[in-house]
Structure formats: C-alpha cells, structure tokens
Amino acid sequence: MLEGNNSLIAEVETAISSGSADKRVDTLRKITDLFMLRADSYADDQVEVFDDVISRLAAKIESQARAELAKRLAPVARAPLAVIRSLACDQSIAVAAPVLTHSPRLSEEELLAIARGEGQDRLLAISKRVTVSEAVSDVLVTRGNREVLRSVVSNEGARFSHAGFGRLVERSVGDDELSASVGLRKDIPREHFKTLVSKASEAVFKKISAANPAAANEINRILFELTGHKAGAELPPAPAVQRDFTNAKSHFEALQQSGKPLEPALQQLAGTGRYEEIVVAIATLCQLPVETVDRIFSDKSADNDLVLLLIKAAELRWPTAKVILDLRRGERLAPATADTARVHFERLQTSTAKRVVRFYQVRRASGEVQ
C-alpha cells in the first residue's frame, strides 16, 4: 500500500509543498488511479490514508481538476469520506453536482443540511439522485424552483410524504407540465390527485390521458364526483309524470334548421314554461337520451344540481341557465339560491362539463348506467 511506496509518498509530499499546479494534478491522478484499482477491497484504515492524501492534494488544485476528481469518486461506494464531503460543499457547482447526484457516501442528514441552506443548483443536483427520501424531497418541494420541482417529480426514485404531495399539488397550479408530471406519479394519493384534477386544465387532462390511458377513466370519475355525484351512482328514478316529447322534438329540429340563434329562442321557451322543448334541446346539445335529461330535470331532491352541468355542457350562458332553473323548480329561485347557483355555474369550466357528459356517455354505452 501507500506506506510501502516510498517514491510515491515522496512525490506526494513534494507536490503538496513545492510542486507546480500541473504537478499536483498529475500526482492526484496517480493517487486516485491507485485507489480506484481496488476501491472495494481496501480496509477502512487504508481508505483513511487515501482520504488524507487526496484531501491535501485536492485542496491545492484548480476547480476543473476537482470537478474531474468529483466525477471519478462520486459513484464509488467506499470513496474517501472527507474528500466526498469536501467536494459536496465546493463553491463550484461543477465540482459539487456529481457528488450530490451520485455519491452513496452522503448521509440523509448531510443532504438535508445542504438542501436547507444552499442554492437552487444544489437542490437540482440532489433532485436527480437514484433515490430521494421523503425528508429530503419535502425540502426540495418547499424550497425548489420550477426546474427543481419538475426534476424531482419526474424522478421515479423520489419518495414524497403525504404533506409533500399536497405541497406539490399547490405549487403545480398554473404549470401544466408540472401538473401533468405530478398527476402521472403512480404513488400520488387519491386525495391529492382529486385536488389536482379539480384545479388542472384540459391540457393537463390530455397529457395525463395520453401518457397513461388508465388514468383517463379515473380523471373522469373524479370530475363526476366533483359535481356532487358519485360516478357509480344511479340516476334519479323515472319521473312520476310520463311526458310525450314527440312534438317537442319536431319543434327543436325545426328551430335548428331555421338557422336562427338557439339561445334567445331557448330562453324564451323556458320563460314560457315549455319544459319538453327545453329537455329535448339540452338532450340534443349534450348528445344524451331525452329520458335521461328528463329524469335529471325532474329530480327535486338532489343537493348538487346536475342540471347546471348539463346547461354548461350545452354551452349556454347564465341568463339562459337562470330561466331554465326557474322552469325546472316551477318557481323563481330565491335571490340567495340564484346567487349561489350563478357562482357555481361561472366556476364550472365548459370543458369540464363536457368531459363529465362524455364520461357518462361511455358509462352508458358500457351498460354501467341506464
């Protein structure tokens, strides 16, 4: 070992005390080469000797040479510990990054200390490790910028706490790329997935569905639940009064063929109590069976009104929706009730309403609901 290699020891001492920068780098490479030959088989005391020698040489070389050293030692399971710690805290990210990303010698406590106190470049390097513990990822999610968040979320070896997932969902709002990445995590709790879906854009839904078709159905189920109805729940029972929609269908067909704007006509029909025509119109615009829309419109017990969702999916505006709700109730809505309904209607995205309707169509086609 080193103790028996007097010429090499002498070279080290000369390089450290009076050698040129090139001489120190050359000597460091020789020592590192010697260590790498049997890195996995040296005894602890032998590794300590290398640790001392390499540390002394590395302290007196330029950043570029330390970066080269970091790349060589970072993946080594029994790399000299003092050297690794020094490189991990180096002022140059080119030196620190390989160690922060690859070295198995850094403990969780050391990674936490760096993650809590250093800049975004260090956080980014840590986010790329083969495994990232929940404790470390919590710090990354809290302190990291957008690049760090996207990196750690896309890292399959990263683990997140329940609170960490909640913070991720919060920070993904308005960032479609990050939202989609969070939504595609296989380990995301359903509670947080539901929150993400409630805030995500149609573009996010498309990204998740394209990358994971199995997730598309779950998104639709959650959207359905967000309207206040369980995806597996039955529709309301058939209304007691059986209506004849034949004339209403003919009337609406003629209205469509006339080329006149539909919404003013529908608002007038609703205002004059033409229930059958309104049901037919909503059913046609939403591509749903008239019987289904009639059952929904006739149900007065629902706490959360699916009628609003159907009207939104039909791309009608609030003034028309208000008249239709009055028609459905058989009386004008109380001001407070109307204000609440308007807020819910305005918050509901047309794309979300259409997606829920499409989901129902798929469920109906499969026989899941009638």
DSSP-H helix ranges across 174-274 = 176-183, 190-199, 202-211, 213-226, 246-258, 262-271
d(Cα 7, Cα 209) in Å, to the nearest integer? 65
Q: Kindly tell me the burial class for residue 94, based on how many C-beta atoms sit within 10 Å of its own C-beta (0-12, 13-18, 19 or more).
A: middle
d(C-alpha 258, C-alpha 281), whole Å: 15
Q: Give the separation between CA 334 and CA 326, rounded to whole angstroms.
A: 10
Write down the pLDDT at residue 154: 96
Question: What tokens does 24 get?
Answer: 């120190």
Quote the pLDDT of residue 1.
47
pLDDT of residue 299: 75
- Position 18 scores a pLDDT of 57
pLDDT of residue 308: 86
Which region holds residue 223: left if phi is over 0, alpha if psi is between -120 and 50, else beta? alpha
Give pLDDT, residue 79: 94
Contact 63, 92 (CB under 8 A): yes
Ordered per-residue pLDDT tens for the chain, 370 residues: 444 455 555 555 665 555 567 887 888 888 898 889 888 888 888 889 889 888 888 888 889 999 999 999 999 999 999 999 999 999 999 999 999 999 999 999 999 999 999 999 999 999 999 999 999 999 999 999 999 999 999 999 999 999 999 999 999 988 999 999 999 999 999 999 988 887 787 788 888 888 887 787 788 777 766 655 554 445 556 666 778 899 999 999 999 999 889 999 999 999 999 999 999 999 999 988 898 888 888 876 554 467 888 999 999 999 999 999 999 888 888 888 888 888 888 877 787 788 778 777 766 665 555 5
Instruction: Look at residue 234 in the predicted model and tell me its pLDDT.
Output: 53
Res 303: pLDDT: 47
Angle between helices 190-199 and 213-226 (to 10 degrees): 80
